[in-house]
Amino acid sequence: MTARDAIDLSAYLARLGWSGATAPTRDVLDGLIAAHTAAIAFEAIDPWRGVPVTIDLPDLEAKLVRGGRGGYCFEHNLLFAAALRAIGFRVSYLAARVLWLQREDAITPRSHMLLRVELDEGPRLADVGFGRLTPTASIALVADVVQPTPLEPFRLVATGSDWRMQAALKGAWRTLYRFDLEPQHLMDLVLANHYAGTHPRSVFVNDLIAARPMADRRLTLQNRRFAIEYRDGVREARELRDVAEVRRVLAEQFGVAVPEDPWLDERLAGLPG
């Protein structure tokens, strides 16, 4: 492992508040997923304010571990992969086409990444960066089996080489994304990250988005719309009034150290409802 690839594992685990075992087992994998997703919010403030998202490991550590920030899928999952490898897990990258709020047959870009983790009992998927419906536990790479997680049940549906990740919401299965099992190189993710962070049609360029799963609820923010969705299906939502309240919710509810940036405040002031 080179210095460029080596993560400061102690600092990462401290960021998560993790004091448990560090061994390449399923229990540790699931525990780290739950701790990571609760501690480090999904947020895409940087692409929304026009700041490039870099995914080199030192930049990810500076932002997500030491800087009190969150990130989107490439940031979360690359950081998580580095931590897993440092512990001794065998990890590869996969790419996915997001189908959330899309037709099932839509052809979308490969703008999402997830991880394949090899365990003695078989491969599992880890994805700590999907935002609105990030799974808070690993998912076994088997088709047509309902898999409980601390929040929603998930399942995988396979058709040939095509796999779909689905979550059960209010009694209906909803597809998050589709993917295949071809391992991706880091350069593949660099290109996908550039699209997600800069393309004028990217949702992250056009909307302020944040999400955070907790033990019994999910928090989401899209522009001024802040929502709390409980595990029992109860949903509370409200419009945030002004820049100060958006900043306060990001800091207090999502745990994000919001950048002090006059341009960011100008954009926040112009947020749609």
pLDDT digits over 75-131, tens only?
Answer: 999 999 999 999 999 999 999 999 998 998 889 999 999 999 999 999 999 999 999
Length of the chain: 273
- Domains defined for the chain, CATH in brackets: 9-269 (3.30.2140.20)
Catalytic residue among 36, 46, 73, 76: 73
- Give the percent of the chain with pLDDT over 70: 98
Beta strands in the chain (DSSP E): 42-43, 90-98, 112-119, 122-126, 139-140, 154-159, 162-169, 172-179, 209-213, 217-222, 225-230, 235-239
To the query of whether residue 73 is one of the catalytic residues in this protein, the response is: yes
Query: What pLDDT was estimated at residue 171?
Result: 87
Taking only the tens place, the pLDDT of each residue in 16-56 is: 999 999 999 999 999 999 999 999 999 999 999 999 999 99
Whether the pLDDT of residue 197 is over 60: the answer is yes
The total of other beta-carbon atoms located within 10 Å of residue 172's CB is 8
Scored b (16 or more CB within 10 A) or e, 117-153 reads beeeeebbbbbbbbbbbbbbbbbbbeeeeebebbbbe
Taking only the tens place, the pLDDT of each residue in 129-159 is: 999 999 999 999 999 999 999 999 999 999 9
211 φ/ψ angles, rounded to the nearest 5 degrees: -155, 150
Catalytic residue among 36, 46, 76, 127: 127
CA distance 87 to 84: 5
To the query of whether residue 56 is one of the catalytic residues in this protein, the response is: no
Query: What pLDDT was estimated at residue 273?
Result: 67
Query: What pLDDT was estimated at residue 233?
Result: 87
- Give the percent of the chain with pLDDT over 90: 93
For 64, residues 6+ apart whose C-beta sits below 8 A from its C-beta are 15, 40, 70, 71, 75, 76, 79
Surface-to-core class of residue 158, CB atoms within 10 Å of its CB (0-12 exposed, 13-18 middle, 19+ buried): middle
Catalytic residue among 36, 46, 76, 112: 112
170 φ/ψ angles, rounded to the nearest 5 degrees: 50, 45
Q: What is the pTM of this model?
A: 0.96
To the query of whether residue 216 is one of the catalytic residues in this protein, the response is: no
Query: What pLDDT was estimated at residue 113?
Result: 98
CA distance 129 to 222: 16
Cα separations (Å) of 227 from 78, 217, 233? 27, 10, 12
Please give the residue that has the higher pLDDT: either 14 or 273.
14
Ordered alpha helix ranges (H), the chain: 9-16, 26-39, 45-48, 57-60, 73-87, 186-198, 203-206, 243-252, 262-269
For 9, residues 6+ apart whose C-beta sits below 8 A from its C-beta are 22, 83, 86, 87
Cα separations (Å) of 3 from 10, 83, 151? 15, 14, 37
Whether the pLDDT of residue 4 is over 90: the answer is no
Cα separations (Å) of 210 from 59, 60, 82, 116? 20, 17, 23, 25
